[in-house]
Chain A
Amino acid sequence: MTSEEIQAMAEVATDPAVVWSAVSGRSVNDCADFVRSVDALVLSCLPRLHQRSYSLIVDGAPGGEAVSLPVIRNAITSDKTVIRVDASLHIVRLSDEGLTMKDVQRRTRSEQTLEVLCQGSYLTYVVAGHVVREGDIGSKTSHLPVASRFRRPIAEFDALLADNLAASFHNERRLRYWHDRKKRVLLASPDKTEVIFQRELKAWLEENVIDQIRVIAETRGLGQDPTDITVITPSGDVVVEIKWLGVNASGTKYGEPRIAEGVRQVGIYLDNDSNLVRGYVVCYDARPYDVHSTQSNWDSGEVHHLSDAPRVLFLESESASEKASA
Chain B
Amino acid sequence: MSVVEVSVRSRDVMLALHFAAQSGAVISRIRLQKFVYLLDCVSRLYETLPSSVTHRTYHNGPYDPTIQNAVDILVFRGFVASEFRKPRTFTYQLTKAGGDVVRSWLRREAFPSRTTAAHDLSTALEQLGWSWIVKLVYAEPTYRAKSEVGFGQALVVDDITTNSARAMWETISDALGRGATAVLNPEAVVYAFLRTLKNIASRRPMPEHDDDI
Contacts and interface: CB of A to CB of B under 8 A. Distances in A.
Interface in A2-49: 2, 4-5, 7-13, 15, 18-19, 21-29, 31
Contacts of A7: 199
Nearest to B139: A8
Interface centre among A13, A15, A27 (most CB of B within 10 A): A13
A4 B185 contact: no
Contacts of A19: 176, 188
Given A5-B196, A28-B127, A22 B171 contact: no
Interface string A120-131: 000000011110
Contacts, number: 97
Interface centre among B182, B188, B191 (most CB of A within 10 A): B188
Interface in B79-130: 123-124, 127
B213 interface: no
A112 interface: yes
A107 to B, nearest CB: 12
A26 B33 CA distance: 29
Contacts of B188: 18-19, 21-22, 28, 31
Nearest to A28: B191
Interface string B174-208: 01111111101101110110011101100110000
Interface string A94-121: 0000000000000011001000000000
B175 A1 contact: no
Contacts of A129: 178-179
Instruction: Determine the interface band of chain B, counting residues with CB < 8 A from chain A.
Output: 20 to 34
A22 B176 contact: yes
A31 B191 CA distance: 12
B123 to A, nearest CB: 8
Given A1-B168, A8-B203, A21 B185 contact: yes
B191 A21 contact: yes
Given A21-B185, A22-B188, A27-B187, A109 B172 contact: no
B176 A13 contact: yes
B183 to A, nearest CB: 9
A13 B184 CA distance: 13
B168 A23 contact: no
A28 to B, nearest CB: 5
B69 interface: no
A257 to B, nearest CB: 67
A28 B187 contact: yes
Given A127-B179, A129-B179, A12 B185 contact: no
A17 to B, nearest CB: 9
B13 to A, nearest CB: 26
Contacts of A127: 179
B163 interface: yes
A18 B178 CA distance: 13
Interface centre among A2, A7, A25 (most CB of B within 10 A): A25
21 contacts: A1-B141, A1-B163, A2-B163, A12-B172, A12-B195, A12-B196, A13-B175, A13-B192, A22-B173, A22-B180, A23-B177, A23-B185, A28-B123, A28-B187, A28-B191, A29-B127, A31-B188, A128-B178, A128-B180, A128-B181, A130-B178
Q: A-B pairs with the 5 shortest C-beta distances? A: A128-B179, A8-B199, A22-B188, A21-B188, A13-B175
Given A5-B200, A7-B199, A19-B188, 18 more contacts: A1-B141, A1-B171, A8-B203, A9-B196, A12-B195, A13-B172, A18-B191, A18-B195, A22-B173, A22-B185, A22-B192, A23-B180, A28-B127, A28-B187, A31-B188, A128-B178, A129-B178, A130-B179
